[in-house]
């Protein structure tokens, strides 16, 4: 069983995944970014899934991009939960987890997961459907907001966990693109699926640290 935590947006979630299906999950909105709900939700998910800490195969956490405080809480909580039993901790890109949801809707079209990075810039990466999962075709990067849309191919779908901020940063929306004009949040269930795929494929793990794209100041 994999326990997954996702706190990179205002929609927090926790899920237990057995390698084939989500056995239990909780989700909540927490606009104030206090993140206390994750601890109650984790207890409830573990009880509903009928699993105890020593029997977890791994604990996964979304590492962003997104709300930096939420990402730090998710990673710290995962490492704390893992410590007594030396359970492996896996970090998963929250954006990749969201892309896994969107490619089911977008079909053959590539998908951009993007957000307002402040300082006049936008963070984004590009994905396309690959079997039952997703494949990243352009890694996470920062671009000036004015240059974002012109770098994207025709027909691409664009989604964000904070649509209002992305739209304000972009200005007029390029009609060549398919903009999903509402918040789309990554979920712990998809974080767990991504972590399970990483374990099965033996691919190198992502760093267990927030995915922060701005250079340090």
pLDDT (tens, 9 = 90+) of the chain, 217 residues, equals: 999 999 999 999 999 999 999 999 999 997 765 678 999 999 999 999 999 999 999 999 999 999 989 999 999 999 999 999 999 999 999 999 999 999 988 888 999 999 999 889 999 999 998 888 899 999 999 999 999 999 999 999 999 999 999 999 999 999 999 999 999 999 999 999 999 999 998 888 899 999 988 776 5
Q: What is the b/e burial string over 192-215, where b = at least 16 CB atoms within 10 angstroms of the residue's CB?
A: bbbbbbbbeeeeeebeeebbbbee
* 131 torsion bin: left (phi>0), alpha (psi -120 to 50), beta (else): left
- The reply to whether the predicted model has a pTM over 0.75 is yes
């Amino acid at each position: 069983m994999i326990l997954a935590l996702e706190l990179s947006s205002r929609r927090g979630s926790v899920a237990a995944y057995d390698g084939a299906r989500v056995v239990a999950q909780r989700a909540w909105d927490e606009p104030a970014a206090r993140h206390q709900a994750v601890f109650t939700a984790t207890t409830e998910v573990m009880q509903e899934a009928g699993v105890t800490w020593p029997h977890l195969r791994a604990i996964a956490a979304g590492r962003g991009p997104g709300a930096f405080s939420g990402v730090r809480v998710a990673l710290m909580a995962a490492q704390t939960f893992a410590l007594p039993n030396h359970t492996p901790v896996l970090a998963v890109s929250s954006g990749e987890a969201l892309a896994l949801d969107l490619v089911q809707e977008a079909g053959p079209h590539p998908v951009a997961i993007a957000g307002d990075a402040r300082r006049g810039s936008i963070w984004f990466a590009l994905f396309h459907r690959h079997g039952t999962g997703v494949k990243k075709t352009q890694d996470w990067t920062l671009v000036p907001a004015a240059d974002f849309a012109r770098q994207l191919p025709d027909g691409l779908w664009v989604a964000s966990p904070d649509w209002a901020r992305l739209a304000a940063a972009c200005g007029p929306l390029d009609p060549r693109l398919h903009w999903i004009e509402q918040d789309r949040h990554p979920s712990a269930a998809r974080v767990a699926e991504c972590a399970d795929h990483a374990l099965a494929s033996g691919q190198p793990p992502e760093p267990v640290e927030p995915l922060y794209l701005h250079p340090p100041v």
